[in-house]
Amino acid sequence: MVVIKEQRPKGGRRAPEDPNAPEDPNAPEDPNAPEDPNAPEGGWGWMVVAGCFLATICIRAVTRCVSMFFVEFQTHFEKDYSTTAWIHSLIDSTTMLCAPLGSFLGNRLSCRATVMLGGLLSSAGLVLSSFASSVEFLYISLGVITGLGFALSYTPAIAIVGKYFVERKALAYGIALSGSGIGTFLLAPAVQLLIEHYSWRGALLILGGFVSNLCVCGALMRPLKDTEVKKLVFNQEVVEPSINTKLSSRCQNFCLKTREDFGFIWKPSFLVLSVSFLFLAYGCSSPVVYLVPYALSVGVDHQHAAFLMSTFGVSGIVGNITFGWITDRKRLRKYRMACYMLAIGMEGLCCMIIPFLHSLPLLAPLSALYGYFDGAYVALIPVVTSDTVGSTYLTSALGAVYFLHGIPYLLSPPIGGWLVDHTGTYTATFFLSGASFMLSSSLLAAAVFVRYVLMMCERTNPPPVCEWVCEWVNGSVTVKRFELSKKGRKRCTSICHLPFTELNWSFLLLDPPHR
């Protein structure tokens, strides 16, 4: 007989748990608890950070610099804003929509192999784009092929950093993701010079060679060896699951693996975070695409417009590193979500101010402020995701998170272009993006408030002490749930009969049936 007890003493805190008990994906996360005591916290981990840093230059910085080709594509193919904007939205949305594929291959193969494969594919897409004869050709070569290659490289490169660091995770991510800002700062003027000297075709060809360096980045991402064997306690006997464990069918094995990879998906905190990401993704795409065209429309020349992108990029570096360092402090670690909400709220405010500025001296400082908070929230996305689901599920969770960015990334630039075509100004586009940022921040703030209220109610009225009793009777499993009153009386509240299989016992130990 197996007895599983669940107890909440006064104050609403859980009683000490068995350290060998398997992790419940639906359990609330403690932001102050160490996620993986075996994380190296340095050593080769800093080389992994360097690899991720270079990967974000090749992926996110190059994606941002595609907006530098906006006017060139529009002029060469004689298309309107909305049609041309689909190129940038396709590369962004494909990168995000295919992120689960990147996480799947990263889990099944390795982060190293997946990043290198993505580097080859994205480089081939950019080289093919240099021979484009129509916008539709660019939709496939630049939007789909290059975007798919970026998807295979981006998620595994970010996820492996979280496996090497726990205490300094936010700082490690801040340094790694600052490559996006540094790359934008360096590549924006370089791409403009390449366009002027070699035309947009030559510039894309050179970028294709540059992006092939993702293969070098992938080579740095050495996977960690598993040093901990998960154990299940059954009738005081240790059962060690192995690859050769025989289940009744492949379907059961697949279900167990899927449950292991995506056990976080129905956590309420992750669902709220996911909805907020939808609004965030819509808001963050359009301003980057239309910042340079807007500057050109108010009389800023091409070189100074490229300077705005560089300012945006270098201030993003400061945001990446400073917010990463600040939120790693012990006293501030539990306020990471609040820092994240502050960053995206300020980002929305900056978006709404842009249409009121009509000169370079005004746009430059605003670009710096906008880039700073952009770098801040970008560095905190994997951190708050890890705090929500735990480092065990980080690779799969990041795939789901970036997948949620895909649809808004696809729709945001064309909708912004349609608004520009019909209103003749960029005001509505920037205002809509700013409102999306504000809504994302407000949603998370409301969720935090509701969680605080529920916690206070739980402390006032703690749930009863529960006891689960599992018995094997006549070839079947009988599960009984007892509630213990304050006077020590037991009351059976539910009974469940299940056929005895190894699969049922595994599920009972991992996740006892609910009432």
Band of pLDDT at residue 158, cut at 50, 70 and 90: confident
- 3-class DSSP state of 69: helix
**CB 358: neighbour CB atoms within 10 A?**
13
Q: What local confidence, expressed as pLDDT, does residue 248 receive?
A: 52
Average pLDDT for residues 178-186, to the nearest whole number?
Answer: 79
DSSP category for residue 60:
I
Q: Is the pLDDT of residue 194 over 70?
A: yes
Which amino acid belongs to residue 498? L
Q: Of the given ranges (163-167, 430-434, 490-494), which has the lowest mean pLDDT?
A: 490-494
CATH of 44-224+264-457, one of 3.30.70.420, 1.10.150.530, 1.20.1250.20, 3.40.50.300: 1.20.1250.20
477 forms beta bridges with 472, 498
Is residue 254 helix, strand or coil?
helix
pLDDT at 321: 83
Taking residue 448's Cβ as centre, other Cβ atoms within 10 Å add up to: 15
Confidence of residue 260 (pLDDT cuts 50, 70, 90): low
Taking residues 157-176, what's their average pLDDT?
A: 82
Domain ranges in the chain? 44-224+264-457, 466-498
What is the CA 196 to chain-centroid distance, rounded? 36
Q: What is the pLDDT of residue 208?
A: 92
Q: What is the pLDDT of residue 306?
A: 77
pTM of the model: 0.62
Give the pLDDT score at 204: 92
Strand-pairing partners, residue 227, are: none
Q: What is the mean pLDDT of residues 376-384?
A: 85
Regarding beta strands 476-484 and 237-239, do their DSSP bridges make them parallel or antiparallel, or are they unpaired? unpaired
Please report which helix (H) or strand (E) contains residue 179, including its range: helix 169-211
Quick check: helix, strand or coil at residue 220?
Answer: coil
Token pair of 44, please?
């080769």
Edge-to-edge strand list for the sheet holding 2-6: 2-6, 465-473, 476-484, 490-499
Query: Cα–Cα distance between 114 and 111 in angstroms, integer?
Result: 5
Paired with 506 in beta bridges are: none
Query: Which range in 49-53, 90-94, 239-243, 321-325 is most confidently predicted, on average pLDDT?
Result: 49-53
Determine phi and psi for 237, rounding to 5 degrees.
-115, 145
Q: What is the mean pLDDT of residues 414-426?
A: 85
What are the tens digits of pLDDT across the range 88-138? 778 888 888 888 888 888 878 888 899 999 999 999 999 999 998 888 899
Mean pLDDT to the nearest integer, 402-428: 83
Give me the mean pLDDT over the 40-68 stretch.
85
- What is the C-alpha separation between 173 and 52, in angstroms, rounded? 9
pLDDT digits over 427-466, tens only? Answer: 888 999 999 999 999 999 998 888 888 888 777 766 666 6
Dist CA 471 CA 482 (whole Å): 14
DSSP assignment letter at 66 = G
Segment 318-336 shows an average pLDDT of: 81
| pLDDT single digits (tens) 275-289 | 898 898 888 877 777
pLDDT (0 to 100) of residue 514: 47
Residue 474 confidence class, pLDDT cut points 50, 70, 90: low
Q: Is the confidence at residue 255, as pLDDT, over 50?
A: yes
